Structures are given as structure tokens and as C-alpha cells.
RNA sequence: GGGGAGAUUCCAGAGCGGCCAAAUGGGCCAGACUGUAAAUCUGGUGGUUCUCACCUUCGGCGGUUCGAAUCCGCCUCUCCCCA
């Protein structure tokens, strides 16, 4: 695969392909790598595999020798990116941004070679701006242009609030491109508008406008946009077991997208997998993803334990031991389940018991009034599908 | 500046004096089924040692009433229309 193909593979938008070819040719001739910008939004500190898509692309480009310029949007984070949001986003304080930033770059470092990555905070230039400079920047765009953005348009139509400062976000992101003399900016497909604003600003400032490339966004486990706050995300911080399990929970029909976006498997191999047994394909996807972050061994172990627990319905091997402080006499099971932390409330425990979701030593208990005292030997408690404890 | 609409349980969205812990859908949880924590179907989905009862919840604070998410006043926030 040549450089152009690496840029292009799996992209959604590529504005404009001929310009990218030209720049690559020039760069090669001059022996100078391209400057590729990626903006990180430190407003959400936990990265998930959706964020990994552009990062993996950057990694591949970094391997080809290009310069990755990571922009930490600490100033923009105080605005809140309106992309993909139908709501006004809360403006973050500086302290929040600072703490998020640390975890963010650490996690990005699991994919990128940070030693070879140029990192800038955009406060480097925005903090120096005076109100006059802000006004000048704001004057470079029109309200009509801003309203073209579909999320603003939708929010207008839905009668939802749009903060005036939100119009500044694309301009700020675009100004970053000007400041670092960006050649190519990449981002999720929801970023196209922001990227194009950067391109326009550069041209106004007499720079060649950046090439803009976007990559697919992937949805979370439940089909909604992947987001930690929806609880539907595979986080980079997840264990191999969690990653594998969550991949297995994906709907079958997104597997192709995921393979292409998150693995480096050749298209032919992906097609072969998708043409085969769906469960096998999904397990392979899970191993690829868990393997990238945790190593192939850990991924293989994750698969084994998943098979044991869910396919073969066996208890997992690593069950937490709980030594409970038993009171005198017997305790209602529903209360016990709450006290040992398996159930969030006794009511929830009661419901789960009534629905046959609680097992003691493999025996289903359906009587919500069931009570027990301290057992002679530790008993195996199963609450729902995934929560186990060995209780003594 | 003027006029109108609205804020409901995780989300969306009904309810408009008692039958409301609050319809319905989504999410989530459980069960069945299965190739999986897919899909589909069924049930559940505020808390409290729990079938009674009690407590907390319908933007905030007060008020009317035997009784309020529902009526009144003020406040906060949002949207729309006119200027």
C-alpha cells in the first residue's frame, strides 16, 4: 500500500484527492514529511475504540514517516464541540480540562508513538488573543455559513438552544490549522464541517488549504453513538475480557465496518470472515481488538473465558471471594445480595430473584423471601448473567 | 421591549386535583431461544428486611386544598413569534 492508499483506506470524505496526491509527491521530492493534524477534545477523558479509529490511522501514517501533530483542544474544550450534539454542551473549567488532558494523552499513547508526536495545546495561541483578535477571527465567517452545519440546522428546527460561543468552535479549530501550517487534517465524519472551516481559514491567510479526510464513526453496543456516558462504549481502558465480551455483544451487521475501521486485516480476509460463521467472525474481531491493546495472549485467554462462561455456561475461574460479616440468625437473600454488593438495591435483588436470575451453588432460587445464615462452606453466588461471588 | 409556549422518573414523551411511583417508546435488567453478552419473544425497571405500610421523585421556593406532577404567586432556565 502506498502513502495515498493508507490515507484513503476506509475514509468517508477526502477533500480533495488530487491535492493529496500532489502534496505527497512534493513532500517526497523535498524529503519532507506531511504535517498531519488531529484534534483531541479533552472534555471527555476516557477514550473508546471510536476514538481509536483516527488514532490507528495516525499510527499507520506515523509509521510511514509523516509528522503527527496532536492538538489538545484545551481552549476549545471550554466552548464544547457542537458536532453531533443536539444539546448545548457545558463549558468546562480549566481545572477539568487539565485533569482530563493527562489521562487523554496517556491513553492516546497506547496507540501513537508519543515520542515522535508533536503536541500542542491550542491555548498556546488562544490565550494570547485579545478581544480584538477574537472579533477579527469571528469576522472571517458568516452566520449563514455556520447555519449550514447540519447539527445547528437540526437544533434550530427542533427549537433547541444554540449558544453564540458555539459558532466560535469551528473557527478556533480552523485557526489551529493555520497556526501549525497543517497539510492534512483527519477526524471523524462528524468533523467534516470543522475541517473545512480550517481549510477556508488557511486559504484566507495565504496558506494552501489543508486536505481534509474523515473516517467512519462507529456506534456503540446499543446502536447509538458510542459514548462513555451512554455506557455503550468499548473503552481503551477496558480489560481484554471486557473488550472481547463487548465485541461479542455487537449486532452482527456492523462487523464489516468494525473490521475495516479497527483492524489491519486485508479486505479479502475480512470478506472471507464475514462469509463464514458469524460467531467465528465476531470472535476473531474481538481477538483482534483485544489483542491490539492487550496482546494476543491476553486476547486468547479472554476468548476462552468468554466461551466457558457464556457458551458453555460455566462459572468463570476468577470469582471474587467475599467474606461477609454475618449477623445472628438468617438474612433474607435479597438483603444479602445488596450488602455484598452484587445488587444495587434490595428491590433490584428481589426482582432478579423472582425472575430466576439468582443461583446459589448452581441452584436457582426463586423465592423472594428465601433467607440464609452463614454457610458451613463457601457458597457460589450468581447474580444475573455476569456477577459471581464466592461467599463465606 | 411586547406577546405566546414549555421545564415530568436514565433518555424521549404522556398525564393537567384523588384510581400517579406516574401511560407509551428507547435504554437497561432477567428469562426463553440461539451461533454470542447478536436477532426474536416474554417479563421487569425509585428506595426501605418488601406483597401491608412508610419515605423520596414530576425545574426552584412559597400558597390554595382533606388531598397537587396537576390550581395560584414569585423565581430560574429554554423555545417560538413580533419589534
> What DSSP letter does each residue of A158-199 carry, written as one string?
TT----GGGGHHHHHHHHHHHHHT-SEEEEEGGGHHHHHHHH
Residues 2-21 of chain A sitting with CB below 7 angstroms of strand B: none
Whether pLDDT at A77 is above 60? yes
Q: Residue range A38-66: average pLDDT?
A: 87
Separation of A368 CA and B66 C1' (Å):
38
What is residue A358's three-state secondary structure?
A: strand
Distance (Å, whole) CA A259 – CA A281: 9
pLDDT of residue A322: 87
Distance (Å, whole) CA A144 – CA A123: 27
Judge whether residue A362 contacts strand B, using its CB and a 7 Å cut-off: no
Whether pLDDT at A82 is above 80? no
Confidence of residue A54 (pLDDT cuts 50, 70, 90): very high
Distance (Å, whole) CA A295 – CA A249: 21
Judge whether residue A28 contacts strand B, using its CB and a 7 Å cut-off: no
Confidence of residue A86 (pLDDT cuts 50, 70, 90): very low
Separation of A385 CA and B32 C1' (Å):
14
Q: Are the CB atoms for A240 and A293 separated by under 8 Å?
A: yes
Separation of A384 CA and B54 C1' (Å):
29
pLDDT of residue A85: 46
Name the nucleotide with the smallest C1'–CA separation from A229: B10
Q: Residue range A183-190: average pLDDT?
A: 91
- Nearest Cα neighbor of A169 from A189, A195, A200 is A195
pLDDT of residue A91: 57
Residue A48 DSSP class: B
Query: In this prediction, what percent of chain A has a pLDDT beyond 90?
Result: 31
Q: How far is CA A43 from CA A18, A77, A89, A227, in A?
A: 35, 6, 10, 12
Name the nucleotide with the smallest C1'–CA separation from A371: B49
Q: What grid cell was written down for A40? A: 483531541
Please indicate whether residue A313 or residue A385 has the higher confidence score (pLDDT): A385
- Domains annotated on chain A, with CATH: 3-215 (3.40.50.620), 238-311 (no CATH), 321-391 (3.10.290.10)
Whether pLDDT at A58 is above 90? yes
Separation of A355 CA and B68 C1' (Å):
36
Distance (Å, whole) CA A373 – CA A60: 59
Instruction: Protein contacts on strand B: list nucleotides below 7 Å from a Cβ.
Output: 26-32, 35-39, 43-50, 78-80
Confidence of residue A92 (pLDDT cuts 50, 70, 90): low
pLDDT of residue A59: 93
| Helices and strands (H, E) in chain A, number of each type | 17, 13
For A108-159, write each residue's pLDDT tens digit.
888 999 989 999 988 899 989 998 898 889 888 888 888 888 778 777 777 7
Amino acid at each position: 500500500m502506498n502513502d495515498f492508499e493508507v490515507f484513503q483506506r476506509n475514509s468517508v470524505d477526502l477533500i480533495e484527492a488530487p491535492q493529496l496526491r500532489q502534496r505527497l509527491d512534493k513532500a517526497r521530492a523535498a524529503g519532507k514529511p506531511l504535517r498531519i493534524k488531529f484534534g483531541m477534545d479533552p472534555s471527555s477523558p476516557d477514550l473508546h475504540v471510536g476514538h481509536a479509529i483516527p488514532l490507528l490511522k495516525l499510527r499507520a501514517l506515523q509509521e510511514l514517516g509523516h509528522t503527527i501533530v496532536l492538538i489538545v483542544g484545551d481552549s476549545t474544550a471550554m466552548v464544547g464541540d457542537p458536532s453531533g450534539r443536539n444539546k448545548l454542551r457545558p463549558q468546562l473549567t480549566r481545572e477539568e480540562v487539565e485533569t482530563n488532558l493527562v489521562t487523554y494523552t496517556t491513553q492516546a499513547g497506547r496507540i501513537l508513538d508519543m515520542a515522535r508526536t508533536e503536541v500542542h495545546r491550542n491555548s498556546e495561541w488562544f490565550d494570547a488573543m485579545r478581544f480584538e483578535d477574537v472579533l477579527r477571527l469571528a469576522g472571517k465567517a458568516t452566520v449563514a455559513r455556520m447555519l449550514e452545519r447540519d447539527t445547528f440546522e437540526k437544533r434550530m428546527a427542533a427549537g433547541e438552544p444554540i449558544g453564540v460561543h458555539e459558532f466560535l468552535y469551528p473557527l478556533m479549530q480552523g485557526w489551529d490549522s493555520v497556526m501549525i501550517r497543517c497539510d492534512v487534517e483527519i477526524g471523524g465524519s462528524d468533523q467534516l464541517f470543522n475541517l473545512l472551516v480550517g481549510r477556508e481559514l488557511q486559504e484566507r491567510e495565504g496558506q494552501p488549504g489543508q486536505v481534509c479526510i474523515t473516517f467512519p464513526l462507529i456506534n456503540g453496543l446499543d446502536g447509538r453513538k458510542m459514548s462513555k456516558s451512554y455506557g455503550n462504549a468499548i473503552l481503551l481502558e477496558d480489560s481484554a475480557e471486557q473488550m472481547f465480551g463487548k465485541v461479542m455483544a455487537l449486532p452482527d451487521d456492523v462487523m464489516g465496518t468494525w473490521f475495516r475501521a479497527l483492524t489491519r486485516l486485508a479486505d479479502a480476509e475480512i470478506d472471507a470472515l464475514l462469509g463464514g460463521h458469524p460467531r467465528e467472525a465476531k470472535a476473531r474481531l474481538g481477538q483482534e481488538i483485544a489483542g491490539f491493546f492487550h496482546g494476543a495472549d491476553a486476547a486468547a485467554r479472554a476468548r476462552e473465558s468468554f466461551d466457558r462462561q457464556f457458551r458453555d455456561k460455566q462459572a468463570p475461574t476468577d470469582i471474587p471471594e467475599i467474606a461477609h460479616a454475618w449477623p445472628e440468625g438468617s438474612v433474607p437473600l435479597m438483603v444479602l445480595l445488596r450488602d455484598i454488593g452484587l445488587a444495587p438495591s434490595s428491590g433490584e435483588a428481589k426482582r432478579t430473584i423472582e425472575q430466576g436470575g439468582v443461583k446459589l451453588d448452581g441452584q436457582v432460587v426463586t423465592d423472594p423471601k428465601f433467607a440464609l445464615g452463614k454457610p458451613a462452606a463457601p457458597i457460589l453466588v450468581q447474580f444475573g448473567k455476569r456477577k459471581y461471588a464466592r461467599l463465606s
